Amino acid sequence: MPLIIVTGFPTSGKSTRAKQLYDYLSTRITDSKHRLHLISDDSLSISRAVYDLAAVPAHTRSANASEKDARASLYGAVKRVLSDKDIVILDGLNYIKGWRYQLHCEAKAMRTPSCILQIGCTPDRAKEVNQARLNTRAAVERGGIEATDGPEPYEQGNWDNLVFRYEEPNPMTRWDSPLFTLIWEDDEAQATKTFEALWDTIAGDGRKVVKPNQ
Ligand code: ADP
C-alpha cells in the first residue's frame, strides 16, 4: 500500500491535513489485513531545532548532522512499516527533492506506490501561525499563562530559512507524482474530494502496478 509524502512550508497546516487524511483513510480500510501509519517529527520526538542552520557553525553547515540524523530516523521508521499491506502517511516538511526521490525509490523497492500531498499556504499565513506559537511560548516563559502540550514553534530565523530552502514539488518528475494539493482555504468537502482522488489513484481501481525497474 502506498507511501503518502506530505510536504509544505513550516506551520502551513501539514499536520492538520495529515490527521484529516488519516481519519479519511481509516474509513476506507475496511479489512483487517491493511494497516495505517502516521509518522511525523512529533511522533518520533524530533525537535524543530534540527532544521536550524544557525545552530551549527557556518563551516560545518554542509554536515548538518542533526538534520541528517532526523532524516535517518524518519527513513528508518518508514522502512520498518512500509509494505504492500501498510499505508504510510509521512507528515513533515519533506522539502528537499533528493529526499523525496529517496523515499520514492524506497516505496518502489517495496513495489508499492508513492504520492505527494502538497499543502499550499501563503508564507504570510504560515508565518502568522508560527508567530502565534512563539508568542504563546514567550507568555509561558514569562509565567503569564500555563504551559500547554501544543506544538513547538520554529525560531524565526529557522522558519525564514526553511521557506527559503523549500524545493517545490514538480509533478513532471516521477518522484513528485502523482501530486495532490490542498490549500488552507479548502473546506471539508474539498478535502474529502482530494482524499478520494488520492485513494482512487494509489489504492483503488486506478492503481498502477509498480515495477521495480521503471
Ligand atoms: P504544520 O504541521 O505545517 O506545522 P499545523 O497543522 O500544526 O501546521 O497547523 C498550524 C495551525 O494552523 C494549527 O493551529 C491548525 O489548527 C491551524 N490550521 C491548519 N490548517 C488550517 C486550515 N486549513 N484552516 C484553518 N486553520 C488551520
Band of residue 32 on the pLDDT scale cut at 50, 70, 90: confident
**29 or 208: which carries more pLDDT confidence?**
29
Contact 47, 152 (CB under 8 A): yes
Amino acid at residue number 134: L
Band of residue 143 on the pLDDT scale cut at 50, 70, 90: confident
Looking from the CA of residue 130, the nearest atom of ligand 1 is 10
Looking from the CA of residue 12, the nearest atom of ligand 1 is 3
Q: Rounded to two decimals, what is the model's pTM?
A: 0.92
* Residue in 151, 171, 153 with CA at minimum distance from that of residue 7: 171
Rounded to 5°, the CA angle 24-44-10 comes to: 70
Whether the CB of 93 sits within 6 Å of ligand 1: no
Judge whether residue 183 has pLDDT over 50. yes
Alpha-carbon distance of 205 to 196, in angstroms, equals: 12
Over range 17-22, report the average pLDDT. 98
Whether the CB of 14 sits within 6 Å of ligand 1: yes
Q: Which stretches of 50-205 are DSSP H helices?
A: 65-81, 97-109, 123-141, 156-165, 188-202
Whether the CB of 131 sits within 6 Å of ligand 1: no
Kindly report the length of the chain: 214
Over range 192-205, report the average pLDDT. 89
Judge whether residue 205 has pLDDT over 70. no
Q: How far is CA 94 from the centre of its chain?
A: 6
Residue 158 cell numbers, joined: 529557522
Contact 115, 204 (CB under 8 A): no
pLDDT of residue 149: 78
Whether the CB of 153 sits within 6 Å of ligand 1: no
pLDDT of residue 156: 96
Over range 138-163, report the average pLDDT. 89
Give me the residue label for grid cell 502568522. 128
Judge whether residue 203 has pLDDT over 90. no
Judge whether residue 186 has pLDDT over 50. yes
